[in-house]
A and B are shown apart, each in its own frame.
Chain A
Amino acid sequence: MKRSVPLAIVMVGGILFMIQYFIPHQHSQTLFEYYTEWAPIVGAFALVLGVGSLTRLHSHKIKRKAKNWQYSYAVLIPLYSIPFFALVMPQSLGGGMMQTMGGDRLTMGVFDFAYMNIQVPIQATMFSLLAFYIASAAFRAFRAKSALATVLLLSAVIVMLGQVPIGELLGKWFPKVGLWILRYPNLGAKRAISLGVGFGVLATQLKIIFGVERNWLGGAGE
């Protein structure tokens, strides 16, 4: 039962909406509209599951004083406090849009403050660190060890110089060759990868719909 019911739902739903996509009839569209309204509601239950699971995992870590248990507080406190402040003091859920929504920067709510002054800088910092690691990795690992590696290295250098105005000062051909690499060899390779991935996804989806691939059940009922 634990296996056959989900399998039946997936098969019926999968086939139904595969066919629906190609039928422009009013009934078909109504069915589709029902689906687009229902799907997020059903999906919202996953949020409850996710938050519950995360809470359980980290509260266990704190109870057992597991390794780095202190960091679990850094997960749990914002997890509950930010939505709480957003609900209690929803001055502006539009993020930084304080002035336009008639607010005042000085009376910024806790939700806005946390978003603007904690979340935005943290994420920006994490992403910015890439520049440092890329530079270090390029120095240590980007070697012309073989013919293919040399082609890759030269392409990278040309594209990098072609992407910045200073490259054009060094040689008028840098942007042209850089764009040529992006528009032709890169495009050809990406197209091949994209088609391969597309067919792979299609095959996997058909296997899931027809019950051949059952890993997503997670061993339920076994």
Chain B
Amino acid sequence: MSIWEKMLNVDRRWIFLLIGIACVVPFFTPLGLPILPSQEVISIYDYIEDLSTDNAMFVGFDFDPGTAAENMPMGVAVLRHAFARNVPVFITAYTPLGQGMAGMAIDELTNPATGDYFEYVNWDAWAEIRDQGFTERADIEEAWLAAGNTLPENARGWIFEGRDIAFLGYLPYFHLVILGMSSSIVSQFPTDVGGTPLEEMPMYQDHKSLRDIDLAVTTAGSSACVAWITYGREKIGLPIAFGVTAVMATDYYIYIQSGQIIGQMGGLRGAAEYETLLLDNDYCKNPGKAYIGMDVQNIAHLLIIFLVVLGNIAFFAGGFNKKTKLKGRR
């Protein structure tokens, strides 16, 4: 057996070991290479940057834990941006497991242990302020501060449940839910996941159907995101932005070119680009998980390319392109 044949018949566990090392080592020795945001991601950022408390957006956690490594940082980054700008956000999920993913994202953004979080104010906690008739975001915050509440040192701001956020969660047959919400959101989601009636929420009073919504960002690990285009964009003209996995991203450039989506975050790279924009514009103190994960992707991509080149050298140098079959264990 020649050296080339030995190389091509290498036990695949060695390759697994190399990939394992490539995935683990960068976490201990960060490269911190600069990431330049692409136009597809900048478009989404700029769009949300132009929104304010009078607008509202949907963020769909339309993925399962399998693709969370790519999709979760996108969802977290978009939510962070929206919360920082006090844009009311309705959060939905296309799959049952997506609801848990959305919960984890909210948890991450409202967890004081992260050191750069938003202070979550439960629906019941600001009941008195609602009873006083305050519904405008600025008035609510003013009354909340006047009531003796102070923003903790590491907190970026307040999130008032029902004014800044409505966690609607999962419903089956979500494409029908999108269709239904084009007439009325409350017809599909009478309450949020905590049982709070949607009709009592100030953010619902200003945004009763998808026609009153200014943007829907779907973070998806499957073709679920297309439902937002078919039933949201094409039926009522709802602006849509995608956050999809890297393998899916190539499929959806057609929607960018046709103008059916305003932008797209593709894979971990797309999420890292959004995090870079947030970091550059002082929406967060530290880089997010996608930015850190890009180091792993750097090394893993290089390793895979190295393996492809090595495999081809061995294949041609060994003359296997002329032989019918490579002998040995494959």
Residue interface mask B309-323, A partner, CB < 8 A = 1: 011100110000100
Given contact pairs A123-B64, A132-B19, A142-B308, A36 touches B179 in the complex (Cβ within 8 A): yes
Contact A164 B315, beta carbon cutoff 8 Å: no
Q: Which residue of B lies closest to A165 (CB)?
A: B33
Contacting pair B253 A94 (CB below 8 A) = no
As a 0/1 sequence over residues 57 to 70 of chain B, the CB contacts with chain A under 8 angstroms (1 = contact) are 00000001111110
**Sample (22) of A-B pairs whose CB atoms are under 8 Å apart:** A33-B187, A39-B173, A94-B102, A94-B103, A96-B103, A116-B100, A120-B68, A122-B65, A124-B65, A131-B23, A132-B15, A135-B19, A138-B307, A139-B15, A140-B12, A140-B311, A143-B311, A164-B269, A165-B33, A166-B301, A175-B36, A183-B257
In angstroms, Cα B261 to Cα A115, docked, is: 33
Consensus secondary structure, chain B interface: helix
Binding site for A on B (CB under 8 A): 8, 12, 15-16, 18-20, 23, 31, 33-36, 38, 64-69, 97, 99-104, 106-107, 110-111, 120, 122, 167, 169, 171-173, 176-177, 179-180, 183-184, 187-188, 193-194, 235, 246, 249-251, 253-254, 257, 267, 269, 294, 297-305, 307-308, 310-312, 315-316, 321, 330
Bound together, the chains give a CA A32 to CA B184 distance in angstroms of 12
CB-based contact A93/B193 at 8 Å = yes
Q: Given A135-B15, A139-B310, verify A157-B305 contact (CB < 8 Å).
A: yes
Q: Is A205 an interface residue (CB 8 A)?
A: no
Q: Which residues of B contact A102 (CB under 8 A)?
A: 122
How many of A's residues come within 8 Å of B, CB to CB? 65
* Interface membership of chain A positions 174-217, coded 1 if the CB is closer than 8 angstroms to chain B and 0 otherwise: 01000100110011001100100000000000000000000000
Closest to A169 in B: B33
Tell me if B16 and A99 are in contact (CB < 8 A): no
The answer to whether B254 touches A182, judged by C-beta atoms less than 8 angstroms apart, is no
Mark out the residues of chain A between 33 and 64 whose CB falls within 8 Å of any chain B CB in the assembled complex: 33, 36-37, 39-40, 43-44
Chain A residue at minimum C-beta to C-beta distance from B113: A99
Q: Name which residue of chain B comes closest to A92, CB basis.
A: B103
CB contacts (< 8 Å) of B311 on chain A: these are 138-140, 142-143
Most buried by A among B23, B99, B104, B169: B104
